[in-house]
Structure formats: C-alpha cells, structure tokens
Amino acid sequence: MRSVRSAVPGEREPATSSADHGLAPDSAAIKRHRTLFRAVRRRQNPRLRRSDITVTDERAVRRAVKAASLGNAMEWFDFGIYAYLAGTIGRVFFPSGSETAQLLSSFATFAVAFLVRPIGGMVFGPMGDKVGRKKVLALTMILMAVATFAIGLLPTYAAVGFWSPLLLILFRLLQGFSTGGEYGGASTFIAEYAPDKRRGFFGSFLELGTLAGYTGAAGLVTALTAWLGTDSMDSWGWRIPFLVAGPLGLVGLYLRMRLDDTPAYLKLEEGNARVPAADAVESTARGDLARIFRSHWRVLVLCIALVGAYNITDYMLLSYMPTYLSDELGYSETHGLLILVVTMVLLMLIINQVGRLSDRYGRKPLLMTGMAGFLVLSAPAFLLVRQGSLVAVAGGMLMLGLSLVCLLGTMSAALPAMFPTSVRYGSLSVGYNLSASLFGGTTPLVITALIGATGSAMMPAYYAMAAALVGIVAVAFMKETAQQPLEGSPPSVQSREEAAALVEAQAPAPKF
C-alpha cells in the first residue's frame, strides 16, 4: 500500500535518496547493505498511524454535499437561463439582421462569458487554496446572483440602442468570472469531505445539481413561453427567469456559509501552522499560479484535454440541442425544451448509480464508456433525431444522454483527484476553465457557424465525435484514483473500525 503519511500537512518530507536524483543504487549495493536500505525505505515511506487517518462524519458529509450541490444547481440555473432564452435574447438585444445573425450574436454573447472564466479560475482558484474553499464558494454565489439579476433589469435595444447589448456583455462577463471559481471549488469541496471509497457516489451529486439547475431553467423558460407566448416573452416575460436569481442566490449563500471548511483543507492549515519559518515559503506559495504551471503542467494538459471533450459533448446536448431542434427541424421552442427537460430528468434518476459504479469499478472504465458512446453513437443519434418524429427525437436524445451521464456521474470525483491538496482548487479551476473557455462555451457558436458554412445538419455529431476521440486518448493516460486517498491528504474512511483495519493491514507479519 502506498503510504500517504509523508504527504500529511505539517510533517517534514523525508530526505531524498540518491534514487530521487537519478542515481539509483545497484542491486549489489542493496544486497551488501540490506539493513541500511530497509531503514531508508522505512524513513521515506513510514507506516500510517491512526492519527493520520480522517474518519468522516456521515451527517457532516451529507450537509456538505447538499450545500455544494444546491449551490451548484442555483449557479447553473442562472447560467442556463441565457442558453435557453438564446432566440429571445437575439430578438431583444440584437434586432437588426437575419434570424441566423441574431442567433449568432446571441451565442457569441453566450461565449463571451467563457472568455473570462479562465481569469476567474486564476483568481478564485489560488484564493481558495489560501483562504479556504467555503469563503470563495460563497463569493462566487454572490457574484453570479447579482449578475443574473442585473440582466433581468436591463433596458432593451429599442429603448437605449447599442448600450443595451453592451451592458448585456458586461454582466455576462461578470457571470463568467464568477463561474470560473465555481466548479473547481464545488468539486474540490465534495471530494475533500467524502470518504475515499464513496467519493464517486458523493461527487455525482454535484452534477445532479448541475442537471437540476439546467432542468429548472429549461422548465421555467418552457412554462413561461407556453403561458405567455412569443410576443409577451419578447416584450417582458424574458426578464422573469433572470430576476428569480436574486432570492435563489440568497438561499445558496445561506447554505454555504453554514458549513465548516473541508477536513483536508483544515488539516493542511493545521500542518502549516506547525511548519518552521524556514519552511513556510513553500506553504505560502502553494496557491501561486507560477507553481501550478511549473510543477503540475503535465496533469494540467491532461485535465484540459479531458474537460474539453467532456464540455463539448455536455454543452452540445444540454445547451445547444433546443436551438438545433427549432432551427433545423422546425420544432417550436417550447417542444424542444420540453424534450430536453424529460431527457435531463431521466439522467438525474440514474446519475448517482453511475457514481456508485465508478467507486466499484473505477473512474476510467466509466469515463471510457461515455467517450466511446459519443464516438460510436453520435452519428446514429443525430440521424434518428433528423427523422423528426417525437419518438425518434427522444430516442436520439436518450442515446446521447446515456453517454453523457457516464461522464457526468464520474467527472466530479475524477478531476479533483488529479491534483494535490495544496493546489487542488487552483489547479482544477485553471485547467477546467481554460478548457471550458476554449471548447465548452464556444460549442453552440461553432456548431451554428459550421452548419451555416457547410449546410450539413450532421455537424453537431461530427464535432462530438472528434471531441470524444480526444477524450478517449486523455482517459487512457489518466491514473486510476478510485478508492485511493487524495494526493497530499491522509486517507479518509467512514468509521473507526475501517481506520483501525487500515493501520493493522500495514503491520509487519510476525516472524517465527
């Protein structure tokens, strides 16, 4: 078993051996000095003590998961509203030009928020490693709620001219900046609270929150559109979903502020308090961006590739599909959203079971299944969707949804485990948001432009297949982290008995 004691905060790292500098001792030397080399190995990899192991409190874990997931749901409710009102936003804020030009302008403004997400990740991520996960997650919630509420108050283009889309872009930028600190922090928060053997199950609740947020946004927009009609929605009804963000943001803020910070972060802080002044330089620089790019660039590149494939497929299905159904197949906006809502509800019913499977069989098998599903099923699914009947469209959406849920139910546990505790929030926020900026938020815009340029309504399928191919390569290079301690943190278990068994398993066998 790999010892994590050396990674426990506050303990001094063992002296580096000659092997660490590329001067590995030869086998003859090891045979001559067996006792010496055995002592060196024990010093470098000391056995776990009971005090090294974190025993989780089930009630505290569930409170943390609920607060992070509900907060995430509210965050993505706010963000999803814009995607589902893309057509209305185009008519209200970009009235000149053709319908395609309006839609492109609306999706371009959707993509603008993703331009600043990496900046938000670079600000909030290291901040979360320095001042704590809880405080930064509360701040991102406030900013998102304020920005979304403000969009609901904006004057239209007919009232103030070009100032209207300019203000829209400004608050979209604030939304994107806020989102830059959300996913990395929320997934880190749950991963650090959860016991090692159930991290996949508890992590899946984060994406359950994402689906719930999207479902709530799509459901509200669908209900309002059906009730008010297109003219009333264009006139004033579009404001209602944005204005709902204000009170929802207060609820999310209340939930997040009631929690303690994660056990892993608190142990890190406790350890840093005991570090001698001469060693404190490294601990105070743990959230520094230069350190992240310098020391963790390989994992960062892997994270960007994995998240890029995941985001393209995610935004293609959850954000772009209602527009595809209305623009390419002539579905009404209400019917397209309703089909998506039903699909997302079905995914919500099974996503936690996917999390359980990832705990049992590993993250890589589930991620590989999802990526392979998009590679093989995207073309058949879109061919089915293009048949146009309700059954065919629902069947195609379900094929894509089942592939996506394999990623959704696993990614929240897999990504935080790629980075050590001291830079987890910062590294994940930077990697995730760089990828989301380049590939995720641009997905509706790129697909719309590709369809316009080629005339092929199959472009979404081809784009998803290309992303899935990249994802398969990324998953192949990942390390399996299921049921293992987070790097830089002690093991986390559910009971004292499990902790005692873990320590006992490392005891040397008696010699007779």
**Rounded CA gap, 388 and 368, in Å?**
30
- List pLDDT tens digits, range 258-279: 777 777 777 776 665 554 443 4
Q: 328-334: list long-range contacts, CB under 8 Å, 24+ apart.
A: 328/386, 328/451, 328/457, 329/385, 329/386, 329/388, 329/393, 331/393, 333/87, 333/225, 333/230, 334/222, 334/225, 334/226
- pLDDT range class, residue 217, cuts 50, 70, 90: confident
Taking CB atoms within 8 Å and a gap of at least 24, the contacts of 339-345 are 339/390, 339/393, 339/394, 339/397, 340/218, 340/397, 341/215, 341/218, 341/219, 341/222, 342/394, 343/317, 343/394, 343/397, 343/398, 343/401, 344/211, 344/214, 344/215, 344/218, 344/318, 344/401, 345/215
Mean pLDDT check: name the lowest of 55-64, 104-113, 373-382, 503-512: 503-512
Nearest-angstrom CA–CA distance, 396 and 383: 8
How much is the pLDDT for 337? 78
Give me the pLDDT at residue 283, please: 42
Residue that is written with structure tokens 């191919």 in the block: 469
Contacts of 304 (CB under 8 A, 6+ apart): 431, 434, 435, 438
Q: Is the pLDDT of residue 20 over 50?
A: no
3-state secondary structure of 271: helix
Task: Look at residue 217 and give its three-state secondary structure.
Answer: helix
In whole angstroms, give the CA distance from residue 435 to residue 183. 13
DSSP letter at 21 equals: G
End-to-end Cα distance, the chain: 24
CB 439 within 8 A of CB 126: no
pLDDT at 414 over 80: yes
pLDDT at 321: 85
Q: How far is Cα 194 from Cα 65, in angstroms, rounded to an integer?
A: 9
Could you tell me the two tokens for 23? 């001067």
DSSP 64-92: HHHHHHHHHHHHHHHHHHHHHTHHHHHHH
Alpha-carbon gap, residue 446 to 468, rounded angstroms = 16
pLDDT at 14: 38
Ranked by mean pLDDT, the top range of 68-72, 216-220, 406-410 is 406-410
| Mean pLDDT computed over 22-29 | 56
Asked if pLDDT for residue 348 goes beyond 70, the answer is yes
* 124-128, 200-204, 441-445: the lowest-pLDDT one: 441-445
Quote the tokens at residue 330.
Answer: 């002539």
- pLDDT of 23 > 50? The answer is no
Its pTM stands at 0.77
Question: How open is the CA angle 381-383-386, to the nearest 5 degrees?
Answer: 110
For range 193-217, the mean pLDDT: 90
Determine the pLDDT at residue 33: 63
Residue 136 pLDDT greater than 80, yes or no: yes
Quote the crossing angle between the two packed helices 117-131 and 99-115, to the nearest 10°: 30
